[in-house]
Amino acid sequence: MVTIVAIDGNGVAIVAVDGNGVALIAVNSLVPKVIDVKEAGPGGACSARKVFGMSQRFASLSLIALTAVAISACATKKKDLPPPPPVVGTVVPQTTAPVDNGSVPPPAMVGTTVIPGSAADFVAQAGADHVLFGYDSYELDEDARTILGKQAEWLARYPAVKVTVEGHADERGTREYNLALGDRRATAAKNFLAAQGVDTGRMSVISYGKERPAVDGADEAAWAQNRRAVTVVAAKP
């Protein structure tokens, strides 16, 4: 707010200006007249002081009025202000609770399914697809008979399945000798299966001699695994 005071010979003019307009207050005869003591007479000095005091009271009233106008203007200005914008509430982001993976049990392992009538099923039911022989022999021992008996039982359940019985030998001896020994071992296994009721028309024999060892090595442990007869289930047409 700007306040302008103008003084002339007759009084005081007070102008109050704010941002909204102009308020004018004019007060006459507010300036005290200095009265000569001589003109006033014996009580002149006292009268002059009284006049001066009265003028001071008028000036004080003028200041009070100006203050009231200023306060009113300020109050009016505050009322004219636009209302404050509404307070927008703070949006609290929603958080997703962490998933405790440790509490979820892992999926169960899916076991391998053996198809009935397949080569894998033949080995699983018989315990093995081969039998072992002693050195330079084609005689079946007790373990070999047990395995061949289980093979015959499986072949009886699947009469349409055909097999090939392979004869093998270890690396010792000549190629021709081991081929002949392998053929005797394959035939021995085939004859035992036939004695258990397997049709000979479903079985064939072949000898590989020492050409296809199951285990590489030149010691008794390797040789013992290579002296064998293997029953191979033929693939279905």
The Cα–Cα gap between 41 and 35 comes to 10
In the 8-state DSSP scheme, what is residue 92? P
Which residue range is the domain that position 15 belongs to? 2-76
Looking at the fold, whether 159 and 222 belong to one and the same domain comes out as yes
What torsion, rounded to 10 degrees, do the Cα atoms 223, 227, 231, 234 define?
Answer: 70
Sheet holding 130-132, edge to edge: 130-132, 228-233, 163-168, 203-209
Residue 82 lies in a domain: no
Q: One digit per residue, pLDDT tens: the chain, 237 residues?
A: 544 444 444 555 554 545 555 444 444 544 444 434 344 444 444 444 443 344 444 444 454 444 444 444 444 444 455 566 555 555 555 555 555 555 555 555 455 688 998 999 999 999 999 999 999 999 999 999 999 999 999 999 999 999 999 999 999 999 999 999 999 999 999 999 999 999 999 999 999 999 999 999 999 999 999 999 999 998 665
Residue 39 lies in a domain: yes
Looking at the fold, whether 127 and 69 belong to one and the same domain comes out as no
- Strand 203-209 relative to strand 163-168, pairing: parallel
Residue 28 lies in a domain: yes
Number of domains composing the chain: 2
Residue 102 lies in a domain: no
Looking at the fold, whether 134 and 196 belong to one and the same domain comes out as yes
230 sits in which H/E element: strand 228-233
The Cα–Cα gap between 66 and 5 comes to 11
Give the list of residues 6+ apart from residue 25 with CB closer than 8 angstroms, or none.
13, 14, 15, 16, 62, 65, 66, 69
- CATH number (domain holding residue 159): 3.30.1330.60
Residue 182 lies in a domain: yes
Give the list of residues 6+ apart from residue 111 with CB closer than 8 angstroms, or none.
none
Looking at the fold, whether 128 and 210 belong to one and the same domain comes out as yes
Do 94 and 44 form a contact (C-beta atoms < 8 A)? no
Residue 113 lies in a domain: no
Q: Please give the model's pTM, rounded to 2 decimal places.
A: 0.53
Looking at the fold, whether 133 and 222 belong to one and the same domain comes out as yes
Looking at the fold, whether 213 and 125 belong to one and the same domain comes out as yes
Q: Which of 44, 76, 108 is the last residue of a domain?
A: 76
Looking at the fold, whether 226 and 138 belong to one and the same domain comes out as yes
Residue 185 lies in a domain: yes
Residue 109 lies in a domain: no
